[in-house]
Structure 1
Amino acid sequence: MLEVFGLPAHILFLHAAVVLAPIAALLGIAYAVRPVWRKVLEWPAVIVTFIATISTLLTASAGEALEHAMPRNELIHEHAEQGDLMKLAALIFTVALYVTIALYGPWFSAKLSFLAKLQEMRWLGVLFQVLTVITGLFVIYQVVVTGHTGAQAAWSDWRSS
């Protein structure tokens, strides 16, 4: 099990994921639905989403190690399942947002001229805008659900002590 300063790394990593994943989702949703904001949001959305996704993957990896180091517990198992779903949600959101940015982003459009053919297919852009919004909302939901199951697992017996 990976430890940082004597604590399981999962407990430390999760703070970045819990804060940054919803921020990334909100940036992505705003990017997808507000074309006038795209120039301002393009790079913050790319950077925050990248960091949020990496921190989510690190949190999940450290959580899996922590799960295997602990005695079998149904609440921990439920939290691990929600963490796996969170990982998947973060990855799908990242792909959807990055494709949306590649299709609409002012900087990316200017630098990646080979995207012109794809940009002509309006339906593709709309599809990825919708996917970005749906997966962004799901990321926010999944952060809450995963955090709730984790809190239940960690604090379910606090009154019996």
Structure 2
Amino acid sequence: MLEFFGLPTHILLLHAVVVFSPLAALGGILYAVVSRWRRATEWPVAVLAVVSAGFAVVTASAGERLEEALPSEPLIREHAEHGDLLKVVAVIFAGLVILLVLETGPWTARRLPQLDRLRALPWLRILLQVLTVLGGLFLIYQTIVTGHSGAAATWADWKKG
């Protein structure tokens, strides 16, 4: 188990996931829905989604190491399962955001004319917008569920002393 100043890295890294995942999700949803904001948000949204996914992967890995160091508990196993799903959702969401930026982004349209044939397909744009919105909503939900299950695993015995 990797530690930082005597604390498991998982309990430090998870704060980045709790902050960046909902921000990335909201940014991706707004990018998908509000076309006039795309020029200003194209790169920040894409970078935030990738950073969020990176933190989710690293935090899940640190959580797996922590889980191995702890006694087997049902609440810890449940949290680990939620964390595994969160990791997958964050990576898929980042991929959706990148695809949507490639499809709709003003910067990428000017610099990647090879994608013009794909940009001419309105159904592809709509599909990516819908999937990004749904993915963002699920990322927010899964972040909350994972965080709650982690808090429950951590604080389940606090009244017992």
| TM-score normalised by L of structure 2 | 0.98
Task: Give the aligned length.
Answer: 161
Task: Determine the C-alpha separation between the residues in 2 that align with 1:32 and 1:85.
Answer: 23
Task: Determine the C-alpha separation between the residues in 2 that align with 1:54 and 1:92.
Answer: 12
Runs of 4+ in structure 1 over 3 Å off: none
Task: Determine the C-alpha separation between the residues in 2 that align with 1:68 and 1:93.
Answer: 28
Aligned residues: CA RMSD: 0.6
Task: Determine the C-alpha separation between the residues in 2 that align with 1:92 and 1:125.
Answer: 17
* Counterpart residue identity of residue 133, structure 1: V
User: Residues 28-67 of structure 1, C-alpha deviation per residue, up to 9 Å, x if partnerless?
Assistant: 0000000001001111101211211111111100001101
Q: Which residue number corresponds to residue 18 of structure 1?
A: 18
* Counterpart residue identity of residue 15, structure 2: H
Q: Is the counterpart of residue 54 in structure 1 residue 54 in structure 2?
A: yes
Unmatched 5+ stretches in structure 1? none
Task: Determine the C-alpha separation between the residues in 2 that align with 1:128 and 1:96.
Answer: 7
Q: Which residue number corresponds to residue 72 of structure 1?
A: 72
Task: Determine the C-alpha separation between the residues in 2 that align with 1:68 and 1:125.
Answer: 43
Task: Determine the C-alpha separation between the residues in 2 that align with 1:130 and 1:51.
Answer: 22
Task: Determine the C-alpha separation between the residues in 2 that align with 1:128 and 1:107.
Answer: 18
* Counterpart residue identity of residue 117, structure 1: R
Task: Determine the C-alpha separation between the residues in 2 that align with 1:113 and 1:66.
Answer: 47
User: How far did 1:154 drift?
Assistant: 0.3
User: How far did 1:113 drift?
Assistant: 1.1
User: How far did 1:137 drift?
Assistant: 0.3
Q: Which residue number corresponds to residue 40 of structure 2?
A: 40
Task: Determine the C-alpha separation between the residues in 2 that align with 1:91 and 1:79.
Answer: 18
Task: Determine the C-alpha separation between the residues in 1 that align with 2:107 and 2:94.
Answer: 18
User: How far did 1:82 drift?
Assistant: 0.3
* Counterpart residue identity of residue 59, structure 1: T
Q: Percent identity?
A: 51
* Counterpart residue identity of residue 104, structure 1: T
Q: Which residue number corresponds to residue 152 of structure 2?
A: 152
Q: Which residue number corresponds to residue 141 of structure 2?
A: 141
Q: Which residue number corresponds to residue 63 of structure 1?
A: 63
Local SS of the residue matching 1:62? helix
Local SS of the residue matching 2:71? coil
Q: Which residue number corresponds to residue 106 of structure 1?
A: 106
* Counterpart residue identity of residue 151, structure 1: A
* Counterpart residue identity of residue 73, structure 1: E
* Counterpart residue identity of residue 29, structure 1: I
| TM-score normalised by L of structure 1 | 0.98
User: Residues 65-110 of structure 1, C-alpha deviation per residue, up to 9 Å, x if partnerless?
Assistant: 1011111000000000000110111011111111000000011111
User: How far did 1:155 drift?
Assistant: 0.3
